[in-house]
Chain A
């Protein structure tokens, strides 16, 4: 019997000879990640071990992004503590204002998430790196502390679910729509504790930015990770970025998949997740016309160049509807700069949108676009739980960036073709 991708990567990080789903094992960690919300708690836990130094200061990544630049005094105090820890420990990959970006946009861009490696992040969307063939997986602050102390952590070997997309993909259907489509099918617990694998001709042709979007939301289905086998697109993306050599794994044809889902994309339209769960998904044709107060384009899900380009294509020479706040957030400084050079920032500002420095801000109701009671936002982010973006009486609709841009122009949820 062959092995799945996740089994191969995990096995490669142990001294074991065999591996099978259900086992709980310790694995070596290649990269440990934390952000400004989870790292302060991890620092306190790390200190309880009595150790002076982290296991390897070149294997710890800390990115201040959720409430950074400091949103208030409490965040400033937390960030101060994290900044001091990072300096004192000599953390090589520490990113603060000026260099920071949204962590899951930043790590791939810097070549810090590599195929075949295990990245354990104290952030649920660490599964984003599955798009690069890395076992990126989320944990908590104690997980981060344990990995900083020992360079390893415990994992349950997951079963694997394989999702195959074949067919033609419409221009307005991106990685976001494919993952929302899966969520609509299997639900928010459809991949609980499992490894998700994405394959098929549509995935083979999918640009890296869209792949990152798909893997990013594996956790919304309960998945441990969302893996895509590295190919030429992966290698091209990593050329000149990867900080070290990497190992490429793919599932064996005779591997034991718990279930294989096959989808034909010919008829798939842009998808919208209605409040208050990411699996409450409907095609755009059933969402059109819902009046919105805000449109957010950005986040670790959709804050990359491909996302900004398609949003700008729709907003070019258009105006954001009166009464709608459109907030555009490039994921990293490099993306911000590239968008400026391509004239995209001009397009957004001319349309009447707000363009922000990179931050997770509004996605989790932190700052930079909080909703009032009764307000509705379309958003390219990843969660639409009760109160996620502000007041418990507000509503979040999740979509791809083209739909979010078209909706900003129309003032109501709209298909991109209604605007062009």
Chain B
């Protein structure tokens, strides 16, 4: 699966409180949640984001709370994939479980600039920076995690298992 979009670049330790502040956790509607995505760190994000765009973060992306509202807001806002040096553990789980593609690639994080256009191949983890012409190779997903992605998320996978009675 190939994705293409422009980059929103942020720094290290982007926490779930800035991705979606707790004052909005009384909301379950994903569209409404998405309308507040990143507002405490980048007020213009939601006006500028277009379907397919890509967030590039530094290390420990998604640190903090367990709120699944964070990857949900990012996904619903139209972000097709996140690239970071590495992720906070629960954010990683949540993204896998809801089917938001997240890639680990320190070289890409170092080389890619804000606003660049990328092409990302989720099948082999190849990241092409169209703006600079450089290419990067992300860590491939572990097979167990890839299976969850392929199924369309953890609940879809469980549903399939229940249907097949395994």
Contact in complex: B158, A149 (CB < 8 Å)? yes
- Whole-angstrom CA separation of A308 from B60 in the bound complex: 34
Q: Contacts of B155 on A, CB cut-off 8 Å?
A: 45, 48-49, 142, 145-146
- Whole-angstrom CA separation of A78 from B23 in the bound complex: 14
Q: Is B9 at the interface (CB under 8 A from chain A)?
A: no
Residue count of chain A within 8 Å CB distance of chain B:
52
Q: Is A387 at the interface (CB under 8 A from chain B)?
A: yes
Nearest-Cβ distance from residue B44 to partner chain A, whole angstroms: 15
Contact in complex: B94, A140 (CB < 8 Å)? yes
Convert B1-33 into 0s and 1s, putting 1 for each residue whose CB lies closer than 8 angstroms to a CB of A.
000000000000101011001110111100000
- Whole-angstrom CA separation of A41 from B25 in the bound complex: 10
Among B47-55, B82-90, B112-120, the stretch in contact with A = B82-90
A-B contact count (CB 8 A): 140
Contact in complex: A38, B22 (CB < 8 Å)? no
Nearest-Cβ distance from residue B50 to partner chain A, whole angstroms: 25
- Whole-angstrom CA separation of A268 from B69 in the bound complex: 38
Residue count of chain B within 8 Å CB distance of chain A:
43
Contact in complex: A364, B17 (CB < 8 Å)? yes
- Whole-angstrom CA separation of A177 from B18 in the bound complex: 26
- Name B28's contact: one of A41, A124, A193 (CB within 8 Å): A41
Chain B residue nearest to A47 in the complex (CB): B155
Chain A residue nearest to B157 in the complex (CB): A146
- Name A143's contact: one of B26, B28, B97, B159 (CB within 8 Å): B97
Q: Contacts of A365 on B, CB cut-off 8 Å?
A: 17, 21-23
Q: Is A50 at the interface (CB under 8 A from chain B)?
A: yes
Contact in complex: B60, A67 (CB < 8 Å)? no
Chain B residue nearest to A34 in the complex (CB): B66
Contact in complex: B89, A222 (CB < 8 Å)? yes
Q: Is A139 at the interface (CB under 8 A from chain B)?
A: yes
Among A68-76, A165-173, A258-266, A349-357, the stretch in contact with B = A68-76
Known A-B contacts A189-B86, A366-B23; A51 and B97 likewise in contact (beta carbons under 8 Å): no
Q: Is A304 at the interface (CB under 8 A from chain B)?
A: no
Q: Contacts of A188 on B, CB cut-off 8 Å?
A: 13, 60, 63
Contact in complex: B158, A67 (CB < 8 Å)? no
Q: Is B133 at the interface (CB under 8 A from chain A)?
A: no
Known A-B contacts A24-B144, A74-B26, A145-B155; A49 and B60 likewise in contact (beta carbons under 8 Å): no
Contact in complex: B40, A142 (CB < 8 Å)? no
Q: Is A150 at the interface (CB under 8 A from chain B)?
A: yes
* 25 intermolecular pairs with C-beta atoms under 8 Å apart: A24-B144, A24-B145, A38-B66, A41-B28, A49-B158, A67-B26, A71-B26, A74-B26, A78-B28, A124-B64, A124-B90, A139-B93, A141-B94, A143-B154, A146-B158, A189-B88, A192-B89, A222-B88, A364-B22, A364-B25, A365-B21, A366-B23, A383-B64, A386-B15, A386-B40
- Please provide the 4 A-B residue pairs with the shortest distance between their CB atoms, ordered closest to farther: A140-B68, A74-B26, A140-B94, A142-B97
